[in-house]
A and B are shown apart, each in its own frame.
Chain A
Amino acid sequence: MPRPAEFAVRVAGVRKRYGTVTALDGVDLRVAPGTVHGLLGPNGAGKTTVLRILLALVRPDSGTVDVLGDPVVPHRAPAGVAGFVESPSFYPYLSAQANLDLLASLDGGHADAGTVDDLLARVGLAGRGADRVSGFSLGMRQRLGIAAALLREPRLLILDEPANGLDPAGMREMRTLVRDLAADGHTVLLSSHLMAEVEQVCQDLTILRAGRVVYHGTLDALRDKAPAPAHHLRTSHDAAARAAAAECPGVDVETHPDGGLRVRATTADLDGYLLRLAEAGVTPRALAQTTTSLEQLFLDVTGEDG
């Protein structure tokens, strides 16, 4: 009987260098059991390196890593943990069933046809067990990767960009699946470079930038810090529109790199600003929200906002 852990994942002061490149620079991470935790950051922030360390694929240079209450032994897969990093890969010349059976047998078990059928149905691949993986799309491999992870009956599920290659319907199904897994008591740690994806399923969040943690906490706490969403506004007279903004509290206007103006304002403040533009004789020609509040905060803290 595995002993309950205070944290499903506890990472402290982890550093990792690849040659001259610092991938992780003193990363701390704590994931509460039974939650869906998002690991967010732009490409190259170190998300996948963290996940590889948790899965014992990579040895950290320093720091401590505990998973489900036990220290991770370098290069030995921790018990109770499953998942994938980058896109899951399989033997293309074997069927989905054979691939899953192979992986199950390396865990000392066996994936019979009934188990495989149930798992494949759960991830949206019903009836595809006998098909060779060479015919699978990226999205189907992604689903098969989750089936392979679930085969291990993990307490902690690690998913690296699980929505990659999925169409909108597939992404919705993936979110539902992740929520269901959490409801079943699984802890899920998923990485993404898209705030919009993470905010729909995660309770807690860690944001990485260039190998350092720039935010660690709940999504609700992050929302409290979030700035107003950004909009792209095109007008008949940008200079007059910019002048009008000076008279509207809560409205921040700057030149948009693609032409027109970038306006940061809450919905209420934006309504007031548009009325003020009408009074000033400025015609709004196009208005589109470009980021949500959380996306804007993510872009701000990761320095990705151009």
Chain B
Amino acid sequence: MRHALTAYRWELEKLTAQWRVRAVLGVAVAAPWLFVAVLRMQDAVPADTLFGRWVHLTGFAAPLVVLVFTTQYALPLAISLVAGDVFAAEDRYGTWKMLLTRSAGRGALFAGKALAAGTYTVVLVALLGLSSLAAGVVVLGHDPLVGLSGTLITAGTATGLVLAAWASVLPAALGFAALAMLCSVATRNGPAGIIVPTLVGLLMQLGSFVNGVDPLRRVLLTANFDAWHGLFTAHRFYQPLVTTGLVSATYLVACLGIGYLLLHRRDFAEG
């Protein structure tokens, strides 16, 4: 446990020392403000996107539009940029042999890296959510939000619901992080660890559009990205959050379990 926490601390130290990680987190803060500023300046609204038609009326619609956009296209990529490289980077730098000849075992190193990638994922989602909420309220105002049942949601309630909606995608986000880590361990290649989970995310999005495959849709990691809709109806329903949360947890446990076994059994004959 002590070695795992030490490895975790050093993984965070290594992540924050890398310009790529700083750049992604910087974009997570700045991009929502840019997006909201563009919305404010143009007459047209993204009417095809959930809550898109209300973006000129209230700032609470903007973070939900950002949530839809990022979960559809950008979030798996942004997560994989770190999680997909966290193990493969040791192969690239040839540093496994230095780490594995110290007292901390493979389990501790795996746990430290997984915790660090998870922390990055949570921080990334939190920055995106908080930044888009702040940008929406500051630039577009804090008038009540029109819910999915057509009822008005007060500013205070809307604030809590927007934050809850962002928090609700964390299980799938962590599931994608675990998938990226598995790719990173299995391929020992950073670009593969980044690209494969991103493509899997896009394929899952496409799969969710296909009619007649409901059982398949329920086991897709991306289903969790839409599970927050029930929070914005007059009679809230939480079942999708529970179901997709369990599916995400299954992905998380399976990917981390397989990843750990691969690392544990690996012969370090190169590098």
Contacts and interface: CB of A to CB of B under 8 A. Distances in A.
A106 B17 contact: no
A105 interface: yes
Central interface residue in A18, A77, A93, A152, by most chain B CB within 10 Å: A77
B252 to A, nearest CB: 25
Contacts of B95: 89-91
B269 interface: yes
Contact of B3 (A56, A75, A88, A108): A108
Contacts of B264: 75
Nearest to B9: A105
B169 interface: no
Interface string A45-57: 0000100100111
A57 B269 CA distance: 7
Contacts of B14: 91, 93-94
Given A57-B267, A57-B268, A58-B267, A105 B101 contact: no
Given A94-B17, A106-B3, A84 B98 contact: yes
A94 B12 CA distance: 13
A83 interface: yes
A101 to B, nearest CB: 9
Contacts, number: 90
Interface stretch (B30-38, B47-55, B103-111, B212-220): B103-111
Interface in A24-76: 49, 52, 55-59, 75-76
Interface string A81-112: 11111111111111000100011011110000
B93 A89 contact: yes
B101 A83 contact: yes
Given A90-B95, A91-B93, A108-B2, A58 B102 contact: no
Contact of A84 (B3, B7, B97): B97
Nearest to B267: A58
Nearest to A104: B102
B271 to A, nearest CB: 7
A148 interface: yes
B97 A105 contact: no
B100 to A, nearest CB: 6
Given A89-B271, A105-B6, A106-B6, A55 B101 contact: yes
A77 B100 contact: yes
Central interface residue in B105, B264, B268, by most chain A CB within 10 Å: B268
A9 to B, nearest CB: 15
A93 B17 contact: yes
B10 A55 contact: no
B153 to A, nearest CB: 46
Contacts of B265: 75
Give the dominant DSSP class at B's interface.
helix
A75 B265 CA distance: 8
B185 to A, nearest CB: 15
A249 B232 CA distance: 103
B98 A88 contact: yes
A107 B97 CA distance: 14
Give the dominant DSSP class at A's interface.
loop
Nearest to A105: B6
Contacts of A102: 10, 13
Central interface residue in B104, B264, B265, B267, by most chain A CB within 10 Å: B267
A55 B101 CA distance: 6
Interface string B1-37: 0110011011001100110000000000000000000
A20 to B, nearest CB: 14
B93 A92 contact: yes
Nearest to A94: B17
A106 B104 contact: yes
A24 to B, nearest CB: 12
B228 to A, nearest CB: 38
Nearest to A108: B103
A93 B13 CA distance: 11
A106 B107 CA distance: 12
A98 B14 CA distance: 10
Nearest to A133: B93
A57 B271 CA distance: 11
Contacts of A82: 101
B102 A77 contact: yes
A178 B56 CA distance: 74
Interface in A168-205: none
B101 A57 contact: yes
B242 to A, nearest CB: 39
A106 B18 contact: no
A86 B269 CA distance: 10
Contact of A105 (B10, B17, B18): B10
A89 B3 contact: no
- Nearest first, the 5 A-B pairs at minimum CB distance are A89-B94, A106-B102, A57-B268, A106-B104, A58-B267
6 contacts: A49-B269, A55-B101, A58-B267, A91-B17, A106-B104, A148-B98
Given A58-B268, A108-B2, 16 more contacts: A57-B101, A57-B267, A75-B265, A76-B105, A77-B105, A79-B103, A84-B101, A89-B94, A89-B97, A89-B98, A89-B271, A90-B95, A98-B13, A105-B6, A106-B6, A148-B98
